[in-house]
Amino acid sequence: MIDTYLIPLLKILFVLNATLVGVTYMVLLERKVIAWVQVRLGPMRVGPYGVLQPIADAVKLILKEDITPTRADKWVFTAAPIIVMVPALITFAVIPFGPVVNLFGRQVPLYITDVNVGLLYIVSVASIGVYGIILGGWASNSKFPLLASLRASAQLISYEVAVTMTLVSMIMTAGTLSMVKIVESQYNAHLWFIFVQPVAFVLFFIGGLAETNRAPFDMAEAEQELTGGFHTEYSGMRFALFFLAEYANMIVVSSVATTLFLGGWLRPFPNIAALSFLGIIPSWMWFLLKTFVFLYIFLWVRATLPRYRYDQLMRLGWKVLIPVAIANVVVTGIVMVLF
Amino acid sequence: MNQAIAFYVLSAFILGFAVLVVSTRNTVHAVLYLVLNFLAVAALYVLLTAQFLAVIQVLVYAGGIVVLYLFVVMLVNLKRPPEDHSAPQRHSWIGFGLSGLVLLELAVIIGYGSIAPPGPANAQNTDLAMYNVEKIGMLLYTDYLIPFEVASMLLLVAMVGAIILAKREL
Amino acid sequence: MTTHTGQMFDTEELVINMGPQHPSTHGVLRVVLRLDGERVVSSDVVIGYLHRGIEKLSENRNWTQIILLTDRMDYVAAATNNVGYCETVEKLMQLEVPRRARYIRTAICELQRIASHCLWLGTHAMDIGAMTVFLYAFRERELILDLFEEYCGARLTYNSMRIGGLPLDIPVGWDKKVLEFCNIMSEKVDEYEELLTHNRIWLERTRGVGVISAEQAIAIGLSGPPLRGSGVARDVRKDEPYAAYDEMKFEVPIGTNGDTYDRYLVRLEEFRQSIKIIRQSIEGLPEGPIVGKVPRLIKPAVGETYHAIESPKGELGYFIVSDGKSTNPYRFRVRPPSFCNLQALPQLIKGHMVADVVALIGSIDVVLGEVDR
């Protein structure tokens, strides 16, 4: 009874809260990191060193007037931000933060559930998130947001193909679709998969940048664009949901990359007993550290690189990433058969 | 017992959304109801312990094909405002006639199907969940290889045709 | 092979208005674009939002007061405007400017060139998406503005020249600070190069974008980096030297293809050449007076003259007519480089995509204060 209902419920509540807090503080982290790269300080006023800035932002957005355009489709207008946010959050159901640990005398696995098609579940749920963007642009009942949203979603579904192809080669390497077993197979192979599949790692990262609409692939939400982007008509909490969903997607991509390529919760060199003093740092802490590294790289890339033009971005996805990803699958297959 | 309840609830959703797809006046709403329909079907697959198929249903159908439907509907809608899409004159007898024909066809197929012996695929009920993907893979690439290749050829032809139709100059 | 597209696939032209308030038009510029899908079919540039009647106002001001007005034209590089105007009046009155004043004028003009190019680089890079370069370039521009504040008290509109020379001599220690700045700046230019010049995304966004051939450039009347980027070797500092440029050794960078990337490279090299000129002028600063023999009341004889200098944007020319009787000019006409360079815009953006329009406006480097006056 407790094991089937209470513990998963507690885990869900915990992960959900942690994710939402994390997403809110990602806002602050981005502003701070980019500011420090740009020889500025970032938010400094609210709280010591600006630490309470996200709370101020949240309060401001909640108190804003709730405007819905007159002829917009009310239900869809409200549902669009939700449709973007929910898939990002429910992905965390299958991400393993750590192995089975002993907590208060019980064996508690540090993940909510282990679906046997975990990786595919994540990809499929991410593809539902595209609807929010399309509907957000359409529900605003205005030509420019609709065109911008169609472009943004075209970008997303194009890069989904490349990312899925990359994941196929990872599935072949790991031999399983379940997230927990992928980490375990890295333990058994004595190697993080980033060393086995460096090409797949690079492709996944670039695809992840494009999937989350981050620089250098963020033409859809660039301020220099003439059209206002798909969230022009949104204000207040709905707008906040769109943006938080982007950060949530970033965290999802980082977590998946950590699990697939950096060994998830495993400490460096998990099979070498001599380094077992590294076990002082708990497994979930290793996971968070690795995810954090990826998030930092996301922000770093945004501060440094210029932006691709939309057609160059699509050309990169279709003509470069997808062929390389398919070639990677073929090469992986050949290597697996020969050795 | 739980399974039965789940099945009936899901079926109600599936049928309800399907009816909404054809009865609603707003085209975009119809597409959205179709998505919900597909999601409910995916849930049904999970009930049948075909998790792989469920995820593929969401990934390919709900997350890919219907997105393309949505694109087309929205781009066509751009030219004319939603009010123009009211049905001018529904010749309902054509609709009823056609659906009656389809129903007759289905009844005949099911009738013949129930006489014929069951197909070759018999699932090993042990570890069904675990070997989902492998089973499908084996079947697809050995017994059903030719339909698989033919389907991919069809898709390729469709893609090339679409590109040729839409491009201004080659 | 062209396919016959029926009525179904015909797209209509979209008319989009960009500006006058827009984050990327560098001022109040309005561009009306006719788009076919994503490509620009034709465009209309609408200017005049910043017209303040400077030329007419000058007819009611005396010759020294006009210096204040010239600051406000190209407000990004105000001292260059001052120098150009003063030199034109000096040419009309045949006044001799002492050598020290000419050297300091050269140094100040080149400092202004660096400051203006810093602003250009920052905004151009930011339009293309590299937002960090904006902050870095402005950090250097701040150093220059600090130098100017020490010299004449102002950061943007300097009023730093007088007819016949300078109003003030340079403060004590200013020349050392300028040389220190030169050292810092040459490192920073390398930093900008590292961030952008070989960056693959930068190359894709700027190479081949907005090509203008040398003949077209001459026909339109371009000047400055847009002209030199297309391969035409014309620089007023070399062809008709003014101030102390005839005594300076420097090179004029020339591009080859006439695209945005070449204009970028030309301006980047101009950074380095300006640093070279500043070093020469400060290290070789002669002693002497800072103002020549100027009559108390400036009243040029009847006549008209045209004099041009090389401002950071291009050839900045002044045409003044004096009627010999009043203390105000009869006619004061400016040939602003941004105005003439802006004429190339419709031709440049034709056939390009919307995202390139912003890059091209930045590549021409317009200042609306100059365009509209």
Q: Which of A40, A215, A312 comes nearest C204 by C-beta?
A: A312
Lookup result for tokens 């040029």:
C300
Q: Do A150 and B62 touch (CB under 8 A)?
A: no
Q: Say yes or no to pLDDT of C207 above 80.
A: yes
State residue C5's pLDDT score: 39
C207 contacts C363 by C-beta, under 8 angstroms: no
**Number of structural domains found in chain B:** 1
Question: Can you name the residues that pair with C39 across neighbouring β-strands?
Answer: C36, C353
What does the domain layout of chain A look like in residue ranges?
Answer: 65-338
State residue B101's pLDDT score: 92
Q: Which of A73, A134, A177 comes nearest B133 by C-beta?
A: A177
Class of residue B13 by CB neighbours under 10 A (exposed 0-12, middle 13-18, buried 19+): middle
Tokens standing for residue A293? 């590294």
pLDDT band, residue C85 (cuts 50/70/90): very high
Mean pLDDT lowest among B83-87, C115-119, C251-255: B83-87
The one-character DSSP state at C155 is S
- Could you tell me where the DSSP H helices lie in C240-291? 260-283
Return d(Cα A18, Cα A15) in angstroms, integer. 5
Return d(Cα B84, Cα A207) in angstroms, integer. 40
Residue B97 in any domain: the answer is: no
Radius of gyration for the alpha carbons in chain C, expressed in angstroms and rounded: 22
* Alpha carbon distances (Å) from A250 to A220, A256, B77, B88: 16, 10, 33, 48
Residue B146 in any domain: the answer is: no
- C137 contact partners, CB below 8 Å, separation of at least 6: C118, C119, C121, C122, C125, C192
B92 — phi, psi (to 5°)?
A: -70, -25
Subunits next to B (3 or more Cβ pairs <8 Å) are A, C
Give per-residue pLDDT as tens, C91-112: 988 888 899 999 999 999 999 9
Return d(Cα C276, Cα C251) in angstroms, integer. 10
C267 contacts C225 by C-beta, under 8 angstroms: yes
Return d(Cα B74, Cα A137) in angstroms, integer. 10
Question: Can you name the residues that pair with C215 across neighbouring β-strands?
Answer: none
Taking CB atoms within 8 Å and a gap of at least 24, the contacts of C118-125 are: C118/C144, C119/C76, C120/C267, C120/C312, C120/C362, C120/C365, C121/C192, C121/C267, C121/C268, C123/C24, C123/C26, C123/C362, C124/C264, C124/C359, C124/C362, C124/C363, C124/C365, C125/A306, C125/C196
The one-character DSSP state at B123 is -
Residue B14 in any domain: the answer is: yes
State residue A68's pLDDT score: 78
From chain B, the residues in CB contact with A82 under 8 A are: none
CATH of the domain at B76: 1.20.120.1200
Q: Do A306 and C128 touch (CB under 8 A)?
A: yes
Q: Determine the structural domain holding residue B24 and report its residue range.
A: 1-82
Q: Which of B165, B166, B169 comes nearest C2 by C-beta?
A: B169
Q: Which of C24, C130, C139 comes nearest A306 by C-beta?
A: C130
Query: Which chain C residue lies closest to A34 (C-alpha atoms)?
Result: C132
C316 — phi, psi (to 5°)?
A: -100, 115
Apex C156 CA angle, C150 and C157, nearest 5: 100
Subunits next to A (3 or more Cβ pairs <8 Å) are B, C
C317 — phi, psi (to 5°)?
A: -120, 145
Distance in Å, alpha carbon of C197 to nearest chain A alpha carbon: 12
Residue B91 in any domain: the answer is: no
What mean pLDDT value characterizes chain A?
Answer: 85
Residue B100 in any domain: the answer is: no
State residue B83's pLDDT score: 58
Q: Do B75 and A124 touch (CB under 8 A)?
A: no
Interface test with C, best of B72, B79, B167 (most C CBs within 10 A): B167
Domains for chain C: give ranges and CATH numbers. Answer: 13-44+64-372 (1.10.645.10)
From chain B, the residues in CB contact with A127 under 8 A are: 58-59, 62-64, 67
Residue B135 in any domain: the answer is: no
Digit-by-digit pLDDT tens for chain B (170 residues) are: 788 898 999 999 999 999 999 888 888 888 999 999 999 999 999 888 888 889 999 999 998 899 988 888 887 766 555 555 556 566 778 888 898 999 999 998 888 876 655 544 444 444 555 567 788 888 888 888 999 999 999 999 998 998 888 876 65
B17 contacts B37 by C-beta, under 8 angstroms: yes
Q: Do A117 and B132 touch (CB under 8 A)?
A: yes
Distance in Å, alpha carbon of A298 to nearest chain B alpha carbon: 26
Angle between helices C78-93 and C99-128 (to 10 degrees): 140
Tokens standing for residue A256? 């998946």
Return d(Cα C45, Cα C18) in angstroms, integer. 10
Q: Coil, strand, or helix at residue C310?
A: strand
Q: Which of B165, B166, B170 comes nearest C1 by C-beta?
A: B170
Give per-residue pLDDT as tens, C12-65: 677 888 878 776 667 788 889 888 877 888 889 998 888 999 999 989 988 889
Write out the residues of chain C at the interface with chain A, using a CB-CB cutoff of 8 A. Answer: 16, 18, 23-24, 33, 38, 125, 127-132, 134-136, 139, 195-196, 199, 201-202, 204-205, 353-356, 358
* Alpha carbon distances (Å) from A118 to A84, A96, A287, C63, C186: 20, 10, 18, 80, 54
Write out the residues of chain A at the interface with chain C, using a CB-CB cutoff of 8 A. Answer: 34, 37-40, 215-216, 218-219, 222-226, 303-312
What percent of chain C has pLDDT above 90? Answer: 32
Give per-residue pLDDT as tens, C136-158: 999 999 999 999 999 988 888 88
* Alpha carbon distances (Å) from C244 to A281, C103, C107, C174: 68, 5, 9, 19
Q: Do A124 and B63 touch (CB under 8 A)?
A: yes
Residue B133 in any domain: the answer is: no
Q: Which of A73, A120, A150 comes nearest B59 by C-beta?
A: A120
Q: Which of B166, B169, B170 comes nearest C9 by C-beta?
A: B166
Distance in Å, alpha carbon of C33 to nearest chain B alpha carbon: 20
State residue A324's pLDDT score: 94
State residue C7's pLDDT score: 39
CA A58 to chain centre: 21
State which residues of chain A have pLDDT below 70. 1-3, 221-228, 273-274, 276
Taking CB atoms within 8 Å and a gap of at least 24, the contacts of B20-26 are: B25/B85, B25/B86, B25/B87, B26/A73, B26/B82, B26/B85
Q: How many CA atoms lie within 13 A of A79 on its CB side?
A: 15
Q: How many CA atoms lie within 13 A of C17 on its CB side?
A: 6
CA A31 to chain centre: 18
Return d(Cα C271, Cα C144) in angstroms, integer. 13
Q: Coil, strand, or helix at residue C14?
A: strand
Instruction: Provide mean pLDDT across the span C232-236.
Output: 89
Subunits next to C (3 or more Cβ pairs <8 Å) are A, B
Residue B63 in any domain: the answer is: yes
A15 contacts A90 by C-beta, under 8 angstroms: no
Distance in Å, alpha carbon of C182 to nearest chain A alpha carbon: 20
